[in-house]
Structure 1
Amino acid sequence: MINEQIRDKEIRLVGEDGAQLGVMPTREAMRMAEEAGLDLVKIAPTAKPPVCKIVDYGKYKYEMVRKEKEAKKKQRTIEIKEIRLSPNIDTNDLNTKVNAARKFLSKGDKVKITLRFRGREMAHMNTSKHILDDFAQSVADIAVIEKAPKVEGRSMTMFLTEKR
């Protein structure tokens, strides 16, 4: 809210240089802002009394947008990469999948390892858990198990994240 949009009787005023000018009626604060050739902007509407500041509104808005963009730049979204295995995987194939997982983990992504069962493989689910355990063991130097292996329908899944 700026200038005439501020409907509170009393506000806490902060000057253009950041100095506390105290609690005063809104009309007096508006007069001071007009004398300075600037705007009265409500900064903290939830405070008692609300905090307003004398600033150039266009410049203030520009600064806020710039700060928001800067904060977005520093954010990083964590992606979940999936690696699918089968119960009768060979050791060399497993090593290839381990190397792919290492690459994903080093980039900072989470890795979901899925062990998929088809047909008669469903009968031997409990004996295939060692594949996921071996996988976790081979990336243990850079990764930690976030979610332990869990059976979900026709597959067994496990989540790995990078060690901090």
Structure 2
Amino acid sequence: MINGQIRDKEVRVIAENGDQLGVMPVKEAMKLAQEAELDLVKIAPKAQPPVCKIIDYGKYRYELARKEKEAKKKQKTVEVKEVRISPNIDTNDLNTKVNNAKKFIAKGNKVKVTLRFRGREMAHMQQSKHILDDFAEMLAEVAVVEKPAKLEGRSMSMVLTEKR
């Protein structure tokens, strides 16, 4: 709440430099704020009596927005990259996929390894689980299995994350 929105009878007032001006009626506090060509802002509405500060409200909002933006910059978003393989994959192709997954993990992303089944491959789903296990084993020095291999419809997938 700022200026005219403050409906309390008495408030504790803090000057722009941080000095306590004491408890006074709202009209008197408003007069002080107007003389300094600043705003009266309620900063602690739950206190007894409520605490108001004489500050430049526009500058205050700008500072809050800037702090929020800085905090957002520092946080890191983790993406989930997907590596798709099939049950009849050759060794060299598997090595290529493993190298791609290593690159993704090195950048700090999670890797979802999906083993896709088509047609007659559906009959041998459980025998193909070892491919995912081998994939995880090849990445054992840089990654750890976050979600173990799970069958979802026509595909089996697991999620790998960076080793801590």
| TM bracket, shorter-chain basis | 0.7 to 0.9
Per-residue deviation, 1:5? 1.4
Amino acid at match of 2:143: A
Amino acid at match of 1:35: E
Query: What is the CA deviation profile of residues 63-104 of structure 1, one whole-angstrom value per residue up to 9, with x for unaligned ones?
Result: 122222222222222211110011111111111111111111
Per-residue deviation, 1:24? 4.4
Q: Distance in 2 between matches of 1:85 and 1:142?
A: 20
Amino acid at match of 2:64: M
RMSD across aligned C-alpha pairs, in angstroms?
Answer: 2.0
Q: Distance in 2 between matches of 1:7 and 1:104?
A: 57
Q: Quickly say closer, same or farther: Cα 1:22–1:97, change in 2 above 3 A.
A: farther
Structure-1 residue corresponding to 2:118: 118
Structure-2 residue corresponding to 1:48: 47
- TM normalised by structure 2 equals 0.87
Q: Distance in 1 between matches of 2:44 and 2:99?
A: 51
Structure-2 residue corresponding to 1:9: 9
Q: Distance in 2 between matches of 1:85 and 1:157?
A: 10
Aligned residues: percent identity? 73
Q: Quickly say closer, same or farther: Cα 1:137–1:21, change in 2 above 3 A.
A: farther
Structure-2 residue corresponding to 1:102: 102
- TM normalised by structure 1 equals 0.87
Per-residue deviation, 1:58? 2.1
Give the number of aligned pairs.
163
Per-residue deviation, 1:23? 4.8
Q: Distance in 2 between matches of 1:136 and 1:11?
A: 64
Q: Quickly say closer, same or farther: Cα 1:35–1:81, change in 2 above 3 A.
A: same
Unaligned runs of 5+ in 1: none
